[in-house]
Amino acid sequence: MSGTTDVEAKVELERLGRRIRHLEDELAIQKLQSKYAHYLFTQRYDRIVEECFALHSDDVTLEFSDSGVYRGLESIRAVYRDFEAAKRRIPGFFILHMAVNPYIEVARDGRSAHSHWLSPGAVGSNSSAGWVWGPYYIDYVTEEGEWRILHSNLAPLFRNRYEVSWAEAKDHGSVRGALTAKPAASSTIYRPYNEVKGQPDLFRNHPDLPEPY
């Protein structure tokens, strides 16, 4: 540009480079979350941990509904082995957890990110059908240049049978009893709709959208 000094041009190129890296990071995170949803739905459970979760962090965690908190790779692998067993045991078994409305904040150093998603989902077998809808709270880290899931928490507002509305459901079921894997702690923020529907602030225990950091 006319009148632009070499120093100013260098600063502008560096700014644009940071912006491009930031956009590329957001896209890579969205692709990672889509990969996870695809593997879960198509029952490629053996690929989920190895290709989606952080492999070099003791703090890697997974929780969903009332599952409790699973911490560490071996504990998380045990969860997906339970899913594999359910696939073999239950005809027509499937889990669909879409991830939409991504709100992602990538750290300034480009090494971690926080996110909020919404998940309209469903579960089913040859004898039952159910809704599972609510927010996902997911943190990510980079390992060897690739984005990985560090913490994943699906805290649905309702998970009830298809033929009964979430307003009428007496309870919203349990996943804990279907798992042989033992969690390290109780679920952190999950409270189903039948427990909170009479309260003025349904989401008071949920975190705000992630802020820049």
Check residue 3 and give left, alpha or beta (phi > 0: left; psi -120 to 50: alpha): left
pLDDT in tens, 52-74: 999 999 999 999 999 999 999 99
> From CA 112, how far away is CA 90, in angstroms rounded?
38
Segments making up each domain of the chain, as ranges:
6-196
Question: Fold for domain 6-196?
Answer: Nuclear Transport Factor 2; Chain: A, (3.10.450)
SS3 content of the chain, % helix, strand, coil (to 5): 30, 30, 40
Whether 23 has a pLDDT exceeding 60, the answer reads yes
As given in the structure block, the two tokens for residue 65 are 């509904």
User: For residue 3, what pLDDT is reported?
Assistant: 67
Q: Report pTM.
A: 0.92
CA distances from 78 to 28, 81, 175, 180, 197 (A): 27, 5, 14, 8, 33
- Mean pLDDT, rounded, of the chain: 94
Whether 4 has a pLDDT exceeding 60, the answer reads yes
